[in-house]
């Protein structure tokens, strides 16, 4: 996933139904000698059944919690879409504009408190490691960098086949990837993680080798490819960047239908368009184990 030099200003056209990070605050500076507990937080985004097509989906949202021993204060940190999931996955087709218009950014949100009931009742709230105040402060610096340079949300993972060793053409960039990067950073700073099972959700598309099509200017600009531009617009036409999670999944099934019938998918990734020659099983939502990381530094004794 490409890093960018800065985060672009958001276009006023992009409106979120729910305010992004409404109670967010700056990450506090911890005292070096503080001992901070780190918690893995996970809960379902939305659970539902859809016939026998995909069965019961485990679509989870991930976050990380911190508790300071010196102050007793709790904090939650997560990463999610600025304009909700639909906007990150599907563009708007605006009148008078040739190119699809994307309202797509993701960012970290940090706030005081952990909503114990939310995470415990439906999911997971478990201690994974303990760190020093120094490590927490170093992590905070890294979060700032990560947030300023990794700006676009990417819903899809694209790989060649369901095989474990299969080629990954494109990696997703969403809430769980931020949590995995955070854990890795803490491990590199010396955190020692407990041996517990940790699973994450991925939405995977299966495709032959992707074909690079160009960027917005080369496809939709004055010298662009009119036929290709029309094909991309047609592909996105049924999928409105709806607000509700429920409508998002209705669109997801429209996509599956389209992809299976026509064996094609147009992917917008790092500001570039790609054609995916889709192949069976086309799309899978998996909930698989990704172990907690092992650090590269000498361990920090707690």
Residue 3: both structure tokens together: 């890093």
Distant-in-sequence contacts of 219-225, Cβ < 8 A, 24+ apart: 219/99, 219/273, 220/98, 220/99, 224/98
Residue 22: both structure tokens together: 């409404």
Best CA proximity match to 63, nearest among 222, 167, 200: 200
CA distances from 204 to 221, 296, 298 (A): 31, 30, 36
Active site (annotated) includes residue 61: yes
**DSSP 8-state assignment for residue 12:** T
> Contact 266/232 with Cβ under 8 angstroms?
yes
Q: Which of 88, 103, 109, 175 does the annotation list as catalytic?
A: 175
- CA torsion 284→285→288→293, rounded to 10°? 110
Active site (annotated) includes residue 118: no
Round to whole Å and give the CA distance between 189 and 138. Answer: 8
Best CA proximity match to 166, nearest among 279, 89, 291: 279
Neighbours of 212 (CB within 10 A): 9
Q: Which of 61, 88, 242, 258 does the annotation list as catalytic?
A: 61
Reduced to 3 states (helix: H, G, I; strand: E, B; else coil), residue 182 is helix
Strands 49-50 and 55-56, sheet pairing:
antiparallel
Supply the residues annotated as catalytic.
61, 175
């Amino acid at each position: 996933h490409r890093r960018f030099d800065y985060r672009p200003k958001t276009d006023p056209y992009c409106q979120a139904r729910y305010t992004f990070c409404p109670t967010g605050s700056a990450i506090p500076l911890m005292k070096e000698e503080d001992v901070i507990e780190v918690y893995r937080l996970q809960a379902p985004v939305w659970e539902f059944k859809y016939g026998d097509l995909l069965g019961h989906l485990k679509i989870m949202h991930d976050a990380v919690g911190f508790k300071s021993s010196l102050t007793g204060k709790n904090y939650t940190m997560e990463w999610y879409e600025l304009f909700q999931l639909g906007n990150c996955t599907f563009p708007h087709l605006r009148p008078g504009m040739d190119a699809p218009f994307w309202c797509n950014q993701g960012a970290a949100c940090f706030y005081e408190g952990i909503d114990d009931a939310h995470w415990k009742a439906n999911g997971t709230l478990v201690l994974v490691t303990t760190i020093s105040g120094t490590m927490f402060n170093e992590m905070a610096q890294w979060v700032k960098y990560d947030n300023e340079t990794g700006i676009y949300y990417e819903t899809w993972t694209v790989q060649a086949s369901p095989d474990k060793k299969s080629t990954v053409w494109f990696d997703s960039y969403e809430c769980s990837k931020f949590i995995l990067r955070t854990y890795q950073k803490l491990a590199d700073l010396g955190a020692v993680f407990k041996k517990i099972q940790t699973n994450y959700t991925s939405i995977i598309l299966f495709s032959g080798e992707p074909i690079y099509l160009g960027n917005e200017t080369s496809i939709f600009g004055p010298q662009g490819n009119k036929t290709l531009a029309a094909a991309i617009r047609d592909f996105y036409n049924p999928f409105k960047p709806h607000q509700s999670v429920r409508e998002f999944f209705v669109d997801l099934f429209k996509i599956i239908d389209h992809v299976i019938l026509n064996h094609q998918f147009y992917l917008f990734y790092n500001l570039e368009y790609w054609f995916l020659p889709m192949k069976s099983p086309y799309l899978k939502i998996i909930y698989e184990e990704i172990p907690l990381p092992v650090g590269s530094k000498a361990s920090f004794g707690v």
